[in-house]
Structure 1
Amino acid sequence: MTTRQPLRIAILGTHSTGKTTLLKRIEMELRAEGVTVARTGRLGKRAAAAGLPKMHHHTADSTEWIITQGIADEIAATVQGAEVVLIDRAAHDAIAYFHAALAYRGEVPPRLERERLLTLASTQLPKYDLLFATTLDESMPVDTGHEYDARFRRLVDQHVQLLLDQDDIAHQRVTSDPDSQAHAIDTAIQLCLKEALV
């Protein structure tokens, strides 16, 4: 590729909706085409390992850590020469989880804190060349490796969609339907290969 900055493809959505699997499939296809790919991720687990709360225990601090660590991971991937960076959890994903956690606990965040975190997440939007948003299908089996709470999972899905709609954020929705996933993969591959020829 001849672009100075790598292409950035990001994803967000509630847990166990196929985000990581989708990015792995995109990565595999791109590597088969000779494209250098880096994939960020595991931010929730890394936050927990650092002693920060996760899932419905999220706080402003854990949200800020996840956003800023995600930014740092993207920068590191760029410095290492990746042509495409696959971002497993776009910055707004952390905001959705935070808002869902507050709703789950019946809490209201201070307005300035909420606005500050949303502003931080919003600074990342111009960097995404493509943003996918997975949608919840409760008929699909869940990853039992997650701390699973059906109500919290629904709240995250609602807050993801709310953020995307309220801020009119350009994105492509991805459902559990195989055709929807195949279309997302094809969209990502075609974008990357097109840029490689520029």
Structure 2
Amino acid sequence: MLGTHSTGKTRLCKHIERELRGHGLAVARTGRLGKRAAQAGLPTMQHHTARSTEWIITQGIADEISAVALGAEGVLAYWHAALEFRRDTAPRLERERLLILAATQLPKYDLLFATVLDEEVPVDTSQVYDPRYRRLVDEHAHRLLADDSIPHQRVTSDPDSQAHAIDVAVQRCLKRALV
């Protein structure tokens, strides 16, 4: 699941998790990597650096080994957006190293949801968000998916889109559970 902040990723994951548990499937969910990075003293949001991005990707990989979930492309979108927000550029080797690290994880996923920013939906007010940075993350996330031709399903804030995503995830998981 990837998308900019306050686009419904966590809510959608919780709905999918509840449905899967209702079908008797065991579910493991990882996340909160941005908060964990901040607790570790690493820069986040529009202050993301190559170091904080690498920490989040590798911590996500470690979490997956213990459980399952999370996409590295979303972390790269936050970093690219932070660079653009600060009008900065990444050194070529740093950029290539992070892209390769993220690319090693993509084959593990057979289903990827990408939430779409709807600026009419209010943001989580427990955190301070910069609207420009939020739009940049959304743009970079969808650009990364398109540029790399990564198969994904776009999920909007529309209830029908949300319900369809939940149904797709549940059906895919139930099918895999039978194999």
Aligned residue number for residue 57 of structure 2: 67
Aligned residue number for residue 101 of structure 1: 82
Cα distance in structure 2, aligned partners of 1:86 and 1:163: 19
Aligned residue number for residue 16 of structure 1: 6
Instruction: Determine whether 1:121 maps to 2:111.
Output: no
RMSD: 0.8
Selected match of 1:53 from 33, 40, 43: 43
Cα distance in structure 1, aligned partners of 2:120 and 2:77: 22
1:196 Cα deviation from its structure 2 partner = 1.5
Cα distance in structure 1, aligned partners of 2:50 and 2:125: 26
Cα distance in structure 1, aligned partners of 2:102 and 2:171: 27
1:72 Cα deviation from its structure 2 partner = 0.3
The structure that is helix-richer by fraction is 2
Aligned residue number for residue 6 of structure 1: none
Cα distance in structure 2, aligned partners of 1:121 and 1:137: 26
Cα distance in structure 1, aligned partners of 2:69 and 2:125: 24
- What one-letter code is carried by the residue in structure 2 that aligns with 1:144? T
Aligned residue number for residue 156 of structure 2: 175
1:12 alignment partner, SS class: coil
1:178 Cα deviation from its structure 2 partner = 0.4
2:163 alignment partner, SS class: helix
Cα distance in structure 2, aligned partners of 1:146 and 1:153: 12
Contact kept in structure 2, 1:23 and 1:86, CA below 8 Å? no
Runs of 5+ consecutive residues of structure 2 not aligned to the other structure? none
2:160 alignment partner, SS class: helix
Contact kept in structure 2, 1:37 and 1:86, CA below 8 Å? no
Instruction: Determine whether 1:142 maps to 2:142.
Output: no
Residue deviations 1:42-82 (CA, integer Å, cap 9, x gap): 000000000000000000000000000000001011xxxxx
Aligned residue number for residue 28 of structure 2: 38
Aligned identity (percent) is: 72
Selected match of 2:17 from 24, 27, 49: 27
Runs of 5+ consecutive residues of structure 1 not aligned to the other structure? 1-10, 78-84
Cα distance in structure 1, aligned partners of 2:177 and 2:80: 38
Residue deviations 1:67-115 (CA, integer Å, cap 9, x gap): 00000001011xxxxxxx343xx10111000000000000010011111
